């Protein structure tokens, strides 16, 4: 079976690359979820794992390495697992394949590691530019956070998507630093979620 896997961060994110060639695959799976969420925790990728474990998938096609994650270690571990299963991974934007015609590509490991590292570096650059933009905004009199006077109860706070992800991390036994990095939230937010969980 030839499977196409897509991942987009938002419902609004779209384009021809996600729909133009779906007819040439036996199955197309699409997760609408942040790239910071590991493949193992994505609903549609879990479906893919089940199919692979059942020996039903021969080839997996993705648009680019970043569709498999924004963390170098996560992308590399996912690719290593796919390689162990004998899956030919095809990266469409550069035409790279891990096992063309069933033969292992000798430069696959090197290129996939470099590309995953580049995506991670670009993500860090985006975060840095965003932080600088916020700092300039505040210095020019802008205010961050909820509008003054707004009220949010504990229940609605815990029902937020970010809070739910934080709770998952806490239940998995991750450290505050790990949860903060994974979800791009402050340690104070994590501590607040933790204290409400324990209340």
Tell me, what CATH number does 54's domain have? 3.40.50.1390
The verdict on residue 106 lying in a domain is yes
182 and 95, same domain (yes or no): no
104 and 6, same domain (yes or no): yes
* Residue pLDDT, tens place only, 96-147: 899 998 888 888 877 777 766 766 677 677 778 888 888 888 888 887 766 6
10 and 94, same domain (yes or no): yes
The verdict on residue 134 lying in a domain is no
Rg of the chain, C-alpha, whole Å: 20
108 and 179, same domain (yes or no): no
- Nearest one of 112, 122, 123 to 90, comparing CA atoms: 112
What ranges in the chain are assigned the alpha helix state H?
43-53, 72-84, 108-139, 154-158, 161-171, 176-183, 187-198
* Residue pLDDT, tens place only, 8-44: 876 444 545 555 566 689 999 999 888 778 888 899 9
CA 27 → CA 12, 60, 114, 119, 157, distances in Å?
Answer: 22, 10, 29, 27, 38
Token pair of 25, please? Answer: 């695959």
The verdict on residue 76 lying in a domain is yes
Containing structural domain, residue 197 = 150-199
72 contacts 116 by C-beta, under 8 angstroms: yes
Token pair of 174, please? Answer: 């991750």
Task: For the full predicted model, state whether its pTM sits above 0.75.
Answer: no
The verdict on residue 135 lying in a domain is no
103 and 50, same domain (yes or no): yes
The verdict on residue 164 lying in a domain is yes
* Residue pLDDT, tens place only, 57-110: 999 999 988 888 777 777 888 888 898 899 999 999 888 899 998 888 888 877
**Given this model, what pLDDT does residue 10 score?**
61
168 and 75, same domain (yes or no): no
10 and 61, same domain (yes or no): yes
98 and 7, same domain (yes or no): yes
The chain-wide mean pLDDT, for the chain, equals 83
110 and 184, same domain (yes or no): no
Please count the structural domains in the chain. Answer: 2
User: In this structure, which long-range contacts are made by residues 25-30, counting pairs with CB atoms below 8 Å and at least 24 apart in sequence?
Assistant: 25/61, 26/1, 26/2, 27/1, 27/2, 27/3, 27/51, 28/3, 28/4, 29/3, 29/4, 29/5, 30/5, 30/6
């Amino acid at each position: 079976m030839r499977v196409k896997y897509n991942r987009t961060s938002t419902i609004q994110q779209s384009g021809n690359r996600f729909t133009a060639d779906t007819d040439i695959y036996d199955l197309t799976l699409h997760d609408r979820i942040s790239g910071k969420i590991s493949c193992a925790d994505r609903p549609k990728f879990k479906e893919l794992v089940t199919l692979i474990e059942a020996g039903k998938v021969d080839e997996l096609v993705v648009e680019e390495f970043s569709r498999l994650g924004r963390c170098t270690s996560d992308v590399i571990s996912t690719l290593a697992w796919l390689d162990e299963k004998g899956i030919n991974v095809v990266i469409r934007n550069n035409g790279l394949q891990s096992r063309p015609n069933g033969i292992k590509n000798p430069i696959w490991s090197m290129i996939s590691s470099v590309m995953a590292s580049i995506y991670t570096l670009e993500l860090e650059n985006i975060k840095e530019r965003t932080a600088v933009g916020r700092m300039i905004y505040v210095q020019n009199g802008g205010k961050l956070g909820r509008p003054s006077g707004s009220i949010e109860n504990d229940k609605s706070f815990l029902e937020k998507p970010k809070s739910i992800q934080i709770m998952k991390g806490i239940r998995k036994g991750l450290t505050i630093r790990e949860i903060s990095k994974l979800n791009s939230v402050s340690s104070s937010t994590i501590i607040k979620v933790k204290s409400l969980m324990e209340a």
